[in-house]
Amino acid sequence: MKCAPTQTPDDVDIRSLREKYLHERDKRIHRQGQKQYVRPIGEFADNYEADPHMPVVPRDPISEDLDVAILGAGWSGILAAYHLKQAGVTSFRNIDHAGDFGGVWYWNRYPGLQCDNDAYCYLPLLEETGFMPSKKFSDGWEIYEYCQQIGKKFGFYDNALFHTRVTGLRWDGSPIDVRLIELVGNSDDKFFQAAMHMGIGYVAERQLKDMELAHSQMVAGVDMYTTLGPGPQLAMAMGSLGSVEVRLGRPDVGRDWIEKAVAMALEIDDQYGAVGAYFHLGYLELDFGTREKALAAFLAGLELVERGDTLSTTDQVAGIGCAIADTDPRYALRLLSAAARLRTPLALPVARQPWGPRVESGVQEARSALSEKESDAAWASGGGLTVDALQAEVRGHFSSRSGTPQRPAHGLSRREIEIAGLVAAGMTSRAIADKLFLSERTVETHLTHIMTKLGFSSRAQVATWIADQRRALAPEG
Ligand SMILES: Cc1cc2nc3c(=O)[nH]c(=O)nc-3n(C[C@H](O)[C@H](O)[C@H](O)COP(=O)(O)OP(=O)(O)OC[C@H]3O[C@@H](n4cnc5c(N)ncnc54)[C@H](O)[C@@H]3O)c2cc1C
């Protein structure tokens, strides 16, 4: 049996759903935080530290360079290993206190243990491994054995370090991409040297706060994803690099990268990525006083927002409000009010976002251009709009100026772009199939589609086309 890719229904507002889940999660966060947990010492220690399932075999301490130290060998660690390998990273280790892969399915062996949601959904990599759960709610032992199967099939056992409990991490303060990691644990390992790569993206940038450090991360990210070819990650990395450049006081360089992120996202039909990149471009233009350009960016972003997507709609509409606060303060206040009200049920007010102060100053600017009474009336007029009504109204209001953004003409899917990139790297279909865990036949079918869509008849033409795309997106100079 072969499963078709999941078709996500168009009318699901994934972003709002995520926010709702976060909201629910926040409600459940224990007020005592980490203090709620009991340290495994004294009478608890034996139970926690001992492995009841497998004797611990002593091993020599290890000291080595690693690209990635994956802490844990449960589903999270297994999937990290799988995706790292898929991305071509081979220098990693799963490190776990347990004696094998499995995580909770290693530790828990009590009679009657089963997963409590559908195994066909719960168990990952079923297509890739060909594994078929024996029943709807797999027994615990079956899940544990399946974890082992994955470890064997993809060669994760070669790198795994079991019965290694980590009690701390230390690094020497050097830049993060070459930092020394010392795993402090129950083994006598003195240290590991792990060149750990933090995940890149807007989040890393905000968390790191050290913009120079973030900059080196983003440059490394863009370099890495460039080698993999056009894709949403590359677009995201370029956008992140752009916003860091802006914050380092290099607005023109930053704008250039963010515009490249927009172009890349549109090129690969990554609508969600394009909305985010337009949004960053809009706020950049606002910061530099180029309001017309800001308005154009927010309007282009709004064109791509799905129906019912409250967060993306309100982000773009609030930006539009700021862009017109000087020329049309009444309408600006209506939009800023509508955006603020629509976000209230999501418990994610604009004020808590990094661009909150910019929106607040837009509100103040518009208010200062009107009397208090006029301001209050304009603000009140933003009430009662649904997200779809707001989208339609704003699009209609500016219809003469918002052009529909260019969609990619080639029509290649992300998978096809990925395969075209590997063809351009000189890989054979067999090698591509191995790398992507596909059959050679599937790769050949993708290639046929790629050539049909591009009107080509050879792999060389595909390679040249990819090289042209990369040249067009490469930084000048
Ligand atoms: C009995 C049981 C049944 C469950 N059933 C379901 C289900 O049906 N559906 C569902 O969605 N979820 C279920 N879960 C939730 C389950 O936690 C997740 O589905 C998933 O297996 C978690 O994977 P993980 O890799 O994130 O964490 P884990 O599986 O917990 O793996 C974490 C690993 O990290 C290791 N580790 C932790 N700290 C250290 C340290 N300091 N040093 C070294 N190693 C360390 C642990 O030994 C462990 O092997 C169940 C959980 C339990 C306990």
| Domain range summary for the chain, segments of one domain joined by + | 68-161, 177-269, 301-407, 412-473
Query: What is the C-alpha to C-alpha distance for residues 300 and 292, in angstroms, rounded to an integer?
Result: 12
Ligand 1 mean position, distance from CA 155 (Å): 21
Most confident of 106-120, 246-260, 353-367, 416-430: 106-120
pLDDT on residue 182: 55
Most confident of 60-69, 169-178, 195-204, 300-309: 300-309
Q: Which atom of ligand 1 is nearest to the CA of 72?
A: 34
Nearest C-alpha to atom 8 of ligand 1 is from which residue?
115
68-161, CATH topology level? FAD/NAD(P)-binding domain (3.50.50)
Which residue shows structure tokens 């399915």?
A: 105
> Does residue 184 surpass a pLDDT of 80?
no
- Greater pLDDT, 147 or 197: 147
Look up residue 114 and give its DSSP letter. B
Q: Determine the 3-state secondary structure of 264 from DSSP.
A: helix
Residue 190's pLDDT band (cuts 50, 70, 90): very low
The DSSP H or E segment spanning 68 is strand 68-71
- Greater pLDDT, 418 or 192: 418
Q: Determine the 3-state secondary structure of 166 from DSSP.
A: strand
pLDDT on residue 305: 87
CATH 3.40.50.300 fits 412-473, yes or no: no
Nearest C-alpha to atom 28 of ligand 1 is from which residue?
103
Tell me how far CA of residue 429 lies from CA of 47, 155, 440, 462, in angstroms: 51, 22, 6, 13
Average pLDDT over residues 59-77: 82
pLDDT on residue 64: 74
- Greater pLDDT, 121 or 468: 121
The DSSP H or E segment spanning 185 is strand 182-185
> Does residue 382 surpass a pLDDT of 80?
yes
Q: Which residues of 325-359 are buried (b: 16+ CB within 10 A; e: fewer)?
A: beebbbbbbbbbbbbbbbbeebebebeeeebeebb
> Does residue 409 surpass a pLDDT of 60?
no
User: 202: how many CB neighbours lie within 10 A of its CB?
Assistant: 17
User: 260: how many CB neighbours lie within 10 A of its CB?
Assistant: 22
Ligand 1 mean position, distance from CA 96 (Å): 11
Q: Over 214-235, what HEC string results?
A: HHHHHHHHHHHHHHHCCCHHHH
What is this structure's pTM?
Answer: 0.46
pLDDT on residue 33: 72
Query: What is the C-alpha to C-alpha distance for residues 111 and 132, in angstroms, rounded to an integer?
Result: 22
177-269, CATH topology level? 1.25.40
Ramachandran region, residue 206 (left: φ > 0; alpha: ψ -120 to 50; beta: rest)? alpha
